[in-house]
Amino acid sequence: AQSVTQPDIHITVSEGASLELRCNYSYGATPYLFWYVQSPGQGLQLLLKYFSGDTLVQGIKGFEAEFKRSQSSFNLRKPSVHWSDAAEYFCAVGAGDYKLSFGAGTTVTVRA
């Protein structure tokens, strides 16, 4: 069965600084990988996804992620964080069947 680990529970970053959120997955074959963002009291919004092809994926809101098979990782990055990026971020893996398996999430706090 597939699983996801997000090692960082909470990250604090200054506005304008860069951000990197870590995601490690466990799955025997090529996974489908997703990053979602959740603002307080809200549902999940898709930031980006990786199915195949170019391992550097561009998403919405200036986010990008890189799939590294050798490290079983799919880290999310943003060059310059805005205050509105404060939220909880979830990495998820799909294994070709019907469900997504999510990590526990990383809460991002942006300080002025």
Partner 1 sequence: DAGVTQSPTHLIKTRGQHVTLRCSPISGHKSVSWYQQVLGQGPQFIFQYYEKEERGRGNFPDRFSARQFPNYSSELNVNALLLGDSALYLCASSLRRGQETQYFGPGTRLLVL
- Note whether 100 binds partner 1 by CB under 8 A: yes
Residue 86 engages partner 1 in binding (rule: CB under 8 A): no
Residue span 43-62 as binding mask against partner 1, x where in contact by CB under 8 A, dash where not: xxxx--x-x-----------
The reply to whether 104 sits near partner 1 by the rule CB under 8 A is yes
> Would you count residue 34 as binding partner 1 (CB under 8 A)?
yes
> Interface with partner 1 includes 95 (CB under 8 A)?
yes
The candidate with the shortest Cα–Cα distance to 36, out of 79, 74, 80, 83, is 74
Report the sign of the C-alpha dihedral through residues 111, 60, 18, 73, in that order. Answer: positive
